[in-house]
Homo-oligomer: A and B are copies of this chain.
Amino acid sequence: MEHSAEDTVGLPPATAVYTGDRDHATRIRVMEFDVHQLEEREVTTPASLKGCTDTTQLSWIDVVGLSDEESISELCTLFGLHALAIEDILNTSQRAKAEEFGDHLLVSANRVELTFDDGEPVLGFEHTSIVSGPGIVLTFQERDGDAWEAVRKRIRGGMPRIRSARADFLAYALLDAIVDEYAVVVEKLGRVAEQLEARLLDDPESVSVPEIYVLRRELTELRRKAWPIRDALATWRRSEHLDDAARPFLNDLQDHATALVESIDLYRDLVMGMVDLHMSGVNNKMNETMHTLTIIATLFIPLTFLTGLYGMNFDNMPELHTRYGYYIALFTMGTTFIGGLGWFRWKGML
């Protein structure tokens, strides 16, 4: 959360406030297309978009950069979005959700990215919104990402389904690209988890608890972001305006999202078990240490006592003056030592 929740207390609901911290100029990229034609342009003011829903073409208006609250509000109003929808679009800490406002459907979701900072996995999330209405798809993002570029290429490449399809299918394709990013991240984190596990099984002490902890935290975070995507899809599927042809695709996507969450849970389960692995490894090492100490100390302590005994300076210590006293003492010590060793072996401690 970039802006403090405190800053927005007492604001009227449905106030258009950008809560992120990326202060980029807002760019508006427009693609208008049907099976036969495709036109791409970039506009600077929402006003120049008037009338773009009057054609039979599908318009995809992609807004990058959310810090210019005013133009975004203007644009949203132009297409008749509900005030709450606008708030959701600008609220970067919004969890994934789908909601119908009249004949528009708003889907919010976070794009995800995994980078490695000094070998430590760091998750980055970008708030995005997809609005699907009759003849139009509006998308809002803070920063241009790779995922949607791929969709753009497919449109340019003239892929028939996406070119002929209605707004719902394009919206689906965009969300699908986001979910695919999650799959990539889950796979990468899974690889991190498996490496950690391999190292742990090899040498439990080579992995520190903070390493395990950080991985667990990242997985928890990822799950928290991925989980509501399923709810959003369920809401979307219940939408009355939904194109029947898009339905199997949404089913399929929900399926992917479910599998994602299950994979995350599997890895979380693995990671939980790793703490036990590490702890038991450390414990074993400690036991070994104590063991060594115990055996050495226990064997020598009585011997040292004996040497002390015959190192005393009493005048009258008859043993000291016998001929074989020293050898008898040596023999006694040797016997004690060997006896001790035997006792340890008998107790299974050697």
Interface assignment of A173: CB less than 8 Å from any CB of chain B: yes
| Distance between A64 CB and nearest chain B CB, rounded to angstroms | 18
A289 contacts which of B9, B279, B290, B311 (Cβ < 8 Å)? B290
Question: What are the residues of chain B within 8 A of A325 when measuring CB–CB?
Answer: 314-316
Q: Is the interface of A mostly helix, strand, loop or mixed?
A: helix
The residue of chain B having its C-beta at the shortest distance from the C-beta of A279 within the complex is B280
Question: What are the residues of chain B within 8 A of A312 when measuring CB–CB?
Answer: 307, 310-311, 313, 320, 326, 329
Interface assignment of A153: CB less than 8 Å from any CB of chain B: yes
Give complex CA distance A213, B258 in Å.
Answer: 26
Most buried by B among A149, A220, A273: A273
Question: What are the residues of chain B within 8 A of A253 when measuring CB–CB?
Answer: 13
On whether the beta carbons of A320 and B313 are closer than 8 Å, the reply is yes
Give complex CA distance A153, B24 in Å.
Answer: 32
The residue of chain B having its C-beta at the shortest distance from the C-beta of A349 within the complex is B289
Within 8 A of B (CB), among A92-125: 93-95, 97, 99, 101
Interface size class, chain A: 35 or more
With A293-B294, A297-B296, A302-B300: A101-B248 Cβ-Cβ less than 8 Å:
yes
On whether the beta carbons of A210 and B220 are closer than 8 Å, the reply is no
Question: What are the residues of chain B within 8 A of A323 when measuring CB–CB?
Answer: 316
On whether the beta carbons of A95 and B259 are closer than 8 Å, the reply is yes
| Distance between A279 CB and nearest chain B CB, rounded to angstroms | 7
Q: List 28 A-B contacts (CB under 8 A).
A: A4-B187, A6-B187, A12-B162, A13-B172, A13-B249, A14-B252, A93-B259, A101-B248, A200-B210, A201-B213, A201-B214, A208-B280, A221-B266, A286-B287, A286-B290, A290-B293, A290-B294, A292-B294, A292-B298, A293-B293, A296-B301, A300-B304, A304-B304, A310-B313, A311-B311, A312-B320, A313-B313, A313-B320
